[in-house]
Structures are given as structure tokens and as C-alpha cells.
């Protein structure tokens, strides 16, 4: 049993922080209010000056697995998320292999079940291997719960592919995120040449 006293409490029900206490029993919030009685045997923490808020959800993480585990793994990334107050994440598909098929997505989701203490979801690629040329297996990924399409960090090279991808996303009720960059213009040029 844990009693957090004098916290500044953030709530979805109020646009302002309100001061109060929070009683937690076996990991579940039992009561929120001002000057709650201290139950027998409760550990008490004075949270004066601290903000207490619900866990956050990060919809753009780079766990890099599979393929780049030397940078980040599902385990290390999810533990870092937990330490930052994040209670769920969506992985970007810039892995190797890219998350461009139901098979790739299923493998990552299965691994995440065993390697993360928080829910891990994935976005799916717009195009195969994030190359911007041919649409990925969007319907198959959607069947596994993918809610967002993105080639994260890469742009669609074929302008005929982009509208088709956006149309699929709309029809399937998915979010669509595009890396808006023209590589031929980005290079070493300054923003305002001349």
C-alpha cells in the first residue's frame, strides 16, 4: 500500500493541476482526494512540488530490432520508456528487414510479448523495404492491428505510389505519416540560397 501526499495531479478531466493525495493498493489507484487518511501499514511519500500524471504513450519510437540491435533493442527501449513514464509505444518500421509485411510485423510483436513489460505496437511500411517504389502488404499488416503507415525517414520516390498509399490508409482507417523531403533539393544546399 502506498500513499502519495501533496502531489500536483494531472488528469484528463481537468485542464489544471490540482493538489491532492493518491492511495495505491497492489498497484491500483484506490482513491484520489485531499488530505486522505493514512491507512495502517501504508508507505507514505511526500510528493510536494511533484507532478503526478497518467502514463504517457509514445507513438514514435526507434527500437531498431530486428537488424540494428547494437543501437537499441525491444528490451532496452521499453525499459527506457518505463523509466520516462511511458506505458506503451509504437515502433517505427525502419528495421532490417523493414516492417513491410504481416510476417515481419508478427515476428516483432511476438518478440515484444517476451521482451517488454509494456505494450509494444508497430507501424507498418508504406512501401516494400521503405524504397518508395512498390506498396507494402498493407492489408496483411492491418490484419495484425497496424494502425499507422510510414516509411519513417525515407520519402516515396514514385509520385504515383504516394496517392495510392494515402487512399489505402484512408479506406482502412489508418494513420499515414510521410517524410516530406525531395532528396534532390535537400542535399548540401542552404534553405535560402542566394
Place of cell 515502433: 91
Residue 194 located in a structural domain: no
In degrees to the nearest 10, what's the CA dihedral of 76, 80, 83, 87?
-90
Same-domain status, 69 and 39: no
Q: In this structure, is the dihedral angle defined by the CA atoms of residues 187, 159, 95 and 112, taken in order, positive or negative?
A: positive
- The structural domain count of the chain equals 2
- Distant-in-sequence, close-in-space partners of 67: CB < 8 Å, separation ≥ 6: 95, 96, 97
Contact 72, 31 (CB under 8 A): no
Q: Which of 52, 74, 89 is where one domain is finished?
A: 52
User: Residue 48 belongs to a domain with what CATH number?
Assistant: 2.30.40.10
What pLDDT, in 10s, does the model give residues 34-80?
A: 999 999 999 999 999 999 998 899 999 999 999 999 999 999 999 99
Contact 122, 146 (CB under 8 A): yes
The mean pLDDT value for 180-184 works out to 72
Same-domain status, 90 and 147: yes
Same-domain status, 86 and 7: no
pLDDT of residue 186: 67
User: What nine digits make up the cell of 81?
Assistant: 520508456
What pLDDT, in 10s, does the model give residues 153-173?
A: 888 767 889 899 999 999 999
pLDDT of residue 193: 59
Same-domain status, 162 and 122: yes
In terms of pLDDT, which residue wins out, 83 or 180?
83
Question: Which among 126, 51, 133 has a CA at the least distance from the CA of 85?
Answer: 51
Same-domain status, 43 and 72: no
Domain housing 122: 56-184
pLDDT of residue 188: 66
What pLDDT, in 10s, does the model give residues 18-39?
A: 999 999 999 999 999 999 999 9
Residue percentage of the chain with pLDDT more than 70? 93
Least confident of 91-95, 122-126, 160-164: 160-164
Q: Which of 52, 69, 92 is where one domain is finished?
A: 52
Contact 52, 9 (CB under 8 A): yes
Same-domain status, 66 and 125: yes
What pLDDT, in 10s, does the model give residues 135-155?
A: 999 999 999 999 999 998 888
Amino acid at each position: 500500500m502506498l500513499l502519495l501526499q501533496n502531489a500536483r495531479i494531472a488528469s484528463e478531466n481537468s485542464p489544471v493541476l490540482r493538489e491532492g493525495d493518491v492511495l495505491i493498493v497492489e498497484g491500483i489507484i484506490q482513491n484520489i482526494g485531499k488530505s486522505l487518511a493514512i491507512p495502517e501499514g501504508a508507505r507514505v511519500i511526500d510528493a510536494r512540488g511533484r507532478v503526478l500524471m497518467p502514463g504517457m504513450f509514445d507513438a514514435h519510437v526507434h527500437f531498431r530490432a530486428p537488424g540494428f540491435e547494437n543501437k537499441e533493442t525491444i528490451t532496452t527501449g521499453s525499459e527506457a520508456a518505463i523509466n520516462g513514464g511511458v506505458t506503451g509505444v509504437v515502433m517505427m518500421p525502419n528495421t532490417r528487414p523493414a516492417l513491410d509485411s504481416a510476417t515481419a510485423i508478427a515476428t516483432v510483436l511476438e518478440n515484444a510479448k517476451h521482451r517488454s513489460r509494456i505494450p509494444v505496437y508497430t507501424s507498418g511500411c508504406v512501401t516494400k523495404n521503405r524504397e518508395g517504389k512498390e506498396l507494402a502488404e498493407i492489408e496483411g499488416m492491418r490484419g495484425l492491428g497496424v494502425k499507422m503507415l510510414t516509411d519513417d525517414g525515407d520519402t516515396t520516390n514514385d509520385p504515383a505510389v504516394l496517392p495510392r498509399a494515402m487512399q489505402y490508409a484512408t479506406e482502412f482507417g489508418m494513420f499515414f505519416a510521410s517524410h516530406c523531403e525531395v532528396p534532390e533539393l535537400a542535399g548540401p544546399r542552404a534553405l535560402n540560397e542566394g
